[in-house]
Amino acid sequence: MIIDAHYHLEELIETVDALLGQMQQNNVSRVGLIPKMQEPVHLTGVIKKASDLLPRLLMGRLRLLGLMLYNSTVTSDGRISTLGKKYLLYHRPDNAYLDEVIQAHPDKFYGWMFVNPKSADPVTEVERWYGRKGWIGVKTHPFWHNYPVALLDEVAGFCAEKGLPLLMHLGSGRENGDYRYLPERHPQLKIVYAHAAVPRYREVWQYAMKKANVFVDLSSSIYMYDKILAGVIQALGAEKCLYGTDGPYGNATQKRMLDRIYRLQLADNQREKILGRNFLDLISA
């Protein structure tokens, strides 16, 4: 069974019907949906080349330059920036439209409850959807929503108590990139760092090796490339890695992202864990 653990439903880029068709073509059984993050951004030309360069900078000797580029993607006024061009960033995630899709296709979609503690109380938002069919965990983005990880303390406690995984996209700062805070405060919390724990990558992998409940997803055609993909699986083992796309952003199609997994020299049981079994274990309370 193939399960995409990380997909933002943005119908201005890909409709539900198109997504269902893509799933059928690539034998993807289920997709974990996340509300849309920002108005559609199309990467072309110099911007596309810069995005391709970013993870290589973050993994190499020019890490500081990579962090500057990484941080430049969100502006001081809370917008997305691509080398100067600005786009709206949605600071109040809309879980309601996602619920309609999940209930219409209960055998195809799961849902991540997206919260931003700067725009609304996260526990209240999670309680609104908790227990409703298909909702399996909480999604957070302290980087683009620009808040300290510590603001998630209460909702992380709720997740730990209820057995819900928490999916996080880390920032690069001391507060919005504090990957130790929640696992240390809530040892029973199942936490997934998105995109192989960008922007810290190896630093988080070293930490996650020693923590039973710290995982990563392998999503994004922007933040990931083959060296990172192979490196994180080697560092953490297949049992701590979840397949995802981050679609439809960055042209992260199911075929494109699955091809990366199939290119790797993995045993069948390792591939099975990454492509779906780990996700099912994670959402089982």
- Given pLDDT bands bounded at 50, 70 and 90, which one contains residue 50? confident
Spatial CA neighbour of 78 closest among 63, 66, 88: 88
Q: pTM of the full predicted structure?
A: 0.97
Digit-coded pLDDT (tens) for 233-266? 999 999 999 999 999 998 899 999 999 999 999 9
- Given pLDDT bands bounded at 50, 70 and 90, which one contains residue 42? confident
Alpha-carbon torsion, ordered 180, 184, 189, 193, to 10 deg: 10
Residue 285 has pLDDT above 80, yes or no: no
Residue 268 has pLDDT above 80, yes or no: yes
Digit-coded pLDDT (tens) for 155-179? 999 999 999 999 999 999 999 999 9
Please give the pLDDT value at position 47: 79
Digit-coded pLDDT (tens) for 74-121? 998 899 998 778 999 999 999 999 999 999 999 999 999 999 999 999
Digit-coded pLDDT (tens) for 117-159? 999 999 999 999 999 999 999 999 999 999 999 999 999 999 9
Digit-coded pLDDT (tens) for 210-237? 999 999 999 999 999 999 999 999 999 9
Tokens of 57: 């900078």
- Given pLDDT bands bounded at 50, 70 and 90, which one contains residue 29? very high
